[in-house]
Each structure stands twice: as C-alpha cells, then as structure tokens.
Amino acid sequence: MKTKIYLGVISAKESVIFRSARTPTEKEFGDKFLYSIGPFRTKRGALFMKEYGKNNPHCQTVDQAEKLAKKCI
C-alpha cells in the first residue's frame, strides 16, 4: 500500500513529517497532533512547509510549498 507524506503539527513550535496510507483523521491521530497538512508530493515540500510555512503569506497551501521548495531548496 502506497503511503503519502503529511506534516503533523504538535504545537505552535513543533511539527513532524510523517507518512500514512490513509488520510489522517482525528480519531487516528488526534492524540498526537493538533492538525495535519497534506498530502505532499515530495518530502522537500513538507520540509519547506515545516521550516518556512508558519505565518508566511506566500506559503499557505501544499502546492505553494511544493513550488517554493523546488525553487529554494
């Protein structure tokens, strides 16, 4: 089964990149994360969102993170 890349936000300052075969739900991941973002096409896009996405008006969606990561990383 193919997994997809997501970014799980734990707190305002902490997040983690993880893989899941299914779309993350509150029932399954609610005890680990406040919310999740994704799926990302690449780990590079998820890493860019993790590092530079918070309060960045140019990086509000997965697609924007993927495009900016391709340019910058």
Domain ranges of the chain: 4-72
Span 8-19, average pLDDT: 95
Q: State residue 72's pLDDT score.
A: 87
Helix (H, G, I), strand (E, B) or coil at 68: helix
Asked if the model's pLDDT at residue 73 lies above 80, the reply is no
SS3 35: strand
23-62 pLDDT per residue, tens: 999 999 999 999 999 999 999 999 999 999 999 999 999 9
pLDDT (mean) for 10-21:
95
Could you give phi then psi for residue 35, rounded to 5 degrees?
A: -160, 170
Verdict on whether the full-model pTM lies above 0.95: no
